[in-house]
Amino acid sequence: MKEEWTIKSVSPKKTAEIADKLGKLVKPNDIITLKGDLGAGKTTFTKSLAKALGVERTVNSPTFTIMKEYQGYLPFYHMDAYRIADELEDLGLDEYFESGGVTVIEWPEMIAEQLPEERLDIVIEYTGEDERLFYFIPTGDYYVTLIKEFMDYEHISN
């Protein structure tokens, strides 16, 4: 059974703080998936993560372009797989995953077969107008260590 950590956010500001803290810990070639219903806060989280990586451009959902690239302290790749019709279509994702940047993928279930086994999955559950539950599910020793460090960072409670 995979380990899982949960954090409650009570506002968009708290969601931004959570993403900012994670953004200070990620490293080149990290892969993060975000699952959640429309309006759950995936893009809000992604914008704050990108800002923590030094991205100065406006980050918005790449719904119609599938992938957007940004430059910060590390390259930042933001993918929205929602509109991908064929899960097995070769999108050349390995090039992004191994390019020294950080990749965030919204709607990862649409391309599950193309995702690397080791990654950080984050599920965002809508629990109220501004409240969300974030479930952090790391796969692989590196990501387990990353999340343990993240949870200890400034005493985030589990």
CA distance 136 to 114: 20
Q: Which residues of 119-144 are buried (b: 16+ CB within 10 A; e: fewer)?
A: bbbbbbbeeeeeebbbebbbbeeebb
List the CATH number of the domain containing 28.
Answer: 3.40.50.300
Q: How far is CA 5 from the centre of its chain?
A: 15
Strand 31-35 with 67-71, pairing? unpaired
- Report the amino acid identity of residue 49: L
pLDDT surpassing 60 at residue 81: yes
**DSSP 8-state secondary structure symbol assigned to residue 86:** -
CA distance 98 to 93: 9
What percentage of the chain exceeds 70 in pLDDT? 85
Q: Identify the domain containing residue 39 by its residue range.
A: 5-155
* Overall domain count for the chain: 1
**Global pTM exceeds 0.85:** yes
* pLDDT per residue as tens digits for the range 23-56: 999 999 999 999 988 878 888 899 999 999 999 9
Q: Is-contact 28 100, C-beta < 8 A?
A: yes
